[in-house]
């Protein structure tokens, strides 16, 4: 008699807690901004609620479709081809704030670089699984993975979006490490990647300004250092209990985009140190539960997928937190499952659904 499939309910509860708290924080932090830009204080939270609803439907679909479907060659290649096409199509769209990151579909705006994280995870898991099954060498794995992942990364870099490229690199290195890729080559790849990122930052005026701000948060406080300075003020002014949802002042047109790239700073101001540690605890819990799924995965492919998904959600959250605390240069990475952004929310919930799917088959 086949055993009943039961997904990890603690993992789902953790993810839903993050989503619910994110909606509350978006409502609290974006009201003034929404009133100024759109004429109604509920504009951003209503849109985000719609995206959350769509994302939950995608989560359910990802939970119901057997994970073995994702390891089919035709499915993986179709997803990679569609992702590359969407990334290229973004360049045909009008630039928004000097970037070609979005595709407009009527009233909707889609950011294809968000789905690139999920596609990369499936591509890497498929190739890692093939290497193990067919006894291929690491060189035979690296060639197709390097070409396809490199093409996606190049298109995203040209948008330009260095933060997402860095995130893709982190995800891939985590998957290779857990798959037993030689440590010396992981170290070499990490060093080369760090040098390339440094070169890209030094050779770009606005990235160089962000780097200077990271090295000296008081550098150009009314210009390049404005965001970092206001973020620190928000986190520091919250104290232990915070100012609560109605009391934050940095959202009053001081901190740019408080509902997206600097949501953790608003958590620090309105929910205080208790709130910041609470949110960090949610991400740590998500990661720990995800690793439990990795250890109990029924086969290598499922384990590779789970590793990629956990690395994505956990490390992107960690990078977002470190940016708001000026422990890393400013990057435009949302707080997963919490920050405002339709593409980010739907794709992240799809990833959660896939992780829950794998958890059903834990041994």
Please give the share of the chain, as a percent, with pLDDT higher than 70.
Answer: 89
More confident residue, 303 or 229: 303
- Comparing 92-101, 261-270, 314-323, the range with the smallest average pLDDT is 92-101
Please name the residues in contact with 299: beta carbons below 8 A apart, sequence gap of 6 or more. 129
**pLDDT for the residue 3:** 57
Average pLDDT, whole number, for the chain? 85
pLDDT score of 23 more than 50: yes
For 27-85, write each residue's pLDDT tens digit. 888 877 777 777 788 888 999 999 999 999 999 999 999 899 999 999 999 999 999 99
User: CB–CB of 244/270 below 8 Å?
Assistant: yes
Strand partners, 110: 103
Lookup: tokens for 281 = 């605890």
**Domain ranges across the chain:** 9-359
**pLDDT for the residue 222:** 63
pLDDT score of 1 more than 50: no
Rounded to whole angstroms, the Cα distance separating 10 from 265 reads: 27
For 201-227, write each residue's pLDDT tens digit. 777 766 776 777 766 666 666 666 667
Rounded to 5°, angle at Cα 114 from 258 and 281: 55
For 133-177, write each residue's pLDDT tens digit. 767 676 777 788 888 999 999 999 988 888 899 999 999 999 999
Lookup: tokens for 136 = 């291929």
**pLDDT for the residue 221:** 61
Q: What is the SS3 assignment for 13? A: helix
User: CB–CB of 342/58 below 8 Å?
Assistant: no
DSSP string, 25-61: HHHHHHHHHHHHHHS-TTHHHHHHHHHHHHHHHHHHH
Ramachandran quadrant class, 74 (left: phi over 0; alpha: psi -120 to 50; beta: rest): alpha
pLDDT score of 247 more than 70: no
**pLDDT for the residue 250:** 64
**pLDDT for the residue 139:** 72
More confident residue, 20 or 130: 20
Rounded to whole angstroms, the Cα distance separating 228 from 243 reads: 20
**pLDDT for the residue 249:** 63
**Residue 103: which H helix or E strand, with range?**
strand 103-105
Ramachandran quadrant class, 228 (left: phi over 0; alpha: psi -120 to 50; beta: rest): alpha
Count of beta carbons in the 10 Å neighbourhood of residue 154: 11
């Amino acid at each position: 008699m086949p055993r009943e499939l039961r997904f990890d309910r603690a993992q789902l509860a953790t993810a839903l807690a993050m989503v619910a708290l994110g909606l509350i924080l978006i409502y609290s932090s974006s009201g003034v901004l929404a009133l100024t830009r759109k004429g109604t204080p509920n504009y951003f939270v209503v849109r985000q609620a719609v995206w959350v609803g769509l994302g939950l439907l995608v989560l359910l679909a990802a939970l119901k479709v057997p994970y073995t479907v994702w390891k089919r060659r035709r499915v993986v290649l179709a997803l990679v081809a569609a992702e590359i096409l969407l990334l290229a199509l973004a360049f045909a769209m009008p630039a928004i704030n000097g970037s070609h990151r979005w595709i407009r579909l009527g009233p909707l705006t889609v950011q294809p670089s968000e789905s690139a994280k999920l596609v990369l995870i499936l591509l890497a898991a498929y190739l890692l699984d093939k290497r193990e099954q067919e006894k291929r060498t690491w060189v035979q794995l690296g060639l197709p993975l390097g070409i396809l992942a490199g093409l996606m990364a190049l298109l995203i870099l040209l948008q330009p979006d260095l933060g997402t490229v860095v995130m893709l690199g982190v995800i891939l290195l985590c998957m290779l490490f857990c798959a037993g890729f030689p440590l010396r080559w992981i170290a070499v790849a990490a060093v080369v990647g760090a040098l390339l990122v440094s070169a890209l930052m030094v050779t770009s005026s606005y990235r160089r300004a962000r780097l200077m701000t990271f090295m000296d948060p008081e550098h150009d406080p009314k210009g390049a250092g404005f965001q970092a300075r206001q973020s620190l003020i928000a986190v520091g002014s919250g104290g232990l209990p915070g100012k609560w949802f109605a009391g934050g002042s940095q959202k009053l047109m001081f901190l740019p985009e408080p509902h997206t790239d600097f949501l953790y700073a608003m958590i620090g101001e309105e929910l205080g140190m208790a709130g910041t540690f609470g949110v960090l605890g949610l991400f740590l819990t998500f990661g720990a539960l995800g690793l439990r799924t990795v250890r109990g995965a029924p086969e290598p492919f499922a384990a590779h997928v789970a590793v990629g998904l956990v690395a994505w959600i956990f490390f992107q959250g960690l990078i977002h937190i470190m940016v708001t605390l000026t422990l890393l240069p400013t990057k435009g990475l949302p707080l997963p499952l919490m920050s405002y952004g339709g593409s980010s929310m739907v794709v992240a919930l799809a990833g959660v659904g896939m992780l829950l799917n794998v958890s059903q088959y834990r041994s």
